Structure 1
């Protein structure tokens, strides 16, 4: 059943996010995420999930804030150099990257599409993942082109 499930889910194409946080002791952590979704309007909440097998699961569990960078599909997100850097397991994913810190102290990539700066609202263990529910404290996104 597990292999059938994985094969079937490969047919569902989702967006791609990069999630970044200051991590333990201020050491930046990051990962590629396809589970990002809006969760609630009142209060405004978003969610994403981190695998228990993640090499930085303990740092994610300790993180009180994080930034979610939504990559637009028009930019072929799988080809984006940050996706390659953040998809690797372990290691220093931020080595050689130019980033800033948001108001929470989390690493961010200004100008990289839409970003949600969040504080952790709740963390729930669900199966082999932790569901991270965040409350956005700031949302930035590029201006939309509107037809007149």
Structure 2
């Protein structure tokens, strides 16, 4: 059943994001495709992190995070942040620190900066819900994930 579930979910197109935060003045981030909107009032979004993730501690101890929604040309960034053995991800990408002291990747489709609203323990993951405190959008086209491939959203 696990294999069929993974095949089904891998065949459901999703966006691709890199969620970032700062811990002890160091940037931390990872690639996620579990990002979703939750509420309009207040503006809430959610994403999931595996309890075995090397980044888990940082996100559980941080009170803010940024969802960097990747643009279609950011395949390299997607895979750098998806690689759990990559220790210095931020040295391989262009980024800046926002006025909210969060790492923001350059060239993304959009960025949603959030303060942590709630953590939910859910099976082998935590669901992190954030309230949006700032957002930006570019004219870039977003990336999507479908059947183990990342592409530009066709529009």
Distance in 1 of aligned mates of 2:73 and 2:93: 20
TM-score w.r.t. structure 1 length? Answer: 0.86
Unaligned stretches of 5+ residues in structure 2: 141-155
> C-alpha displacement at 1:43, in angstroms?
0.9
Unaligned stretches of 5+ residues in structure 1: none
> C-alpha displacement at 1:76, in angstroms?
5.4
Q: Which has the higher contact order (CA 8 A, sep 6+)?
A: 2
Provide the secondary structure at the position in 2 that maps to 1:139: strand
Deviations 1:55-74 (A, max 9, x none): 121111111111111124xx
TM-score w.r.t. structure 2 length? Answer: 0.83
What is the RMSD of the two structures over their aligned residues, measured on CA atoms?
1.6
Asked whether 1:83 is paired with 2:78, we answer: yes
Q: Which structure 1 residue ranges, 4+ long, deviate > 4 Å from structure 2?
A: none
Matches within 5 A, 1:90-109: 90=85, 91-109=87-105
Distance in 2 of aligned mates of 1:113 and 1:102: 16
> C-alpha displacement at 1:111, in angstroms?
3.9
Larger-gyration structure (1/2): 1
In the alignment of these two chains, the number of paired residues is 139
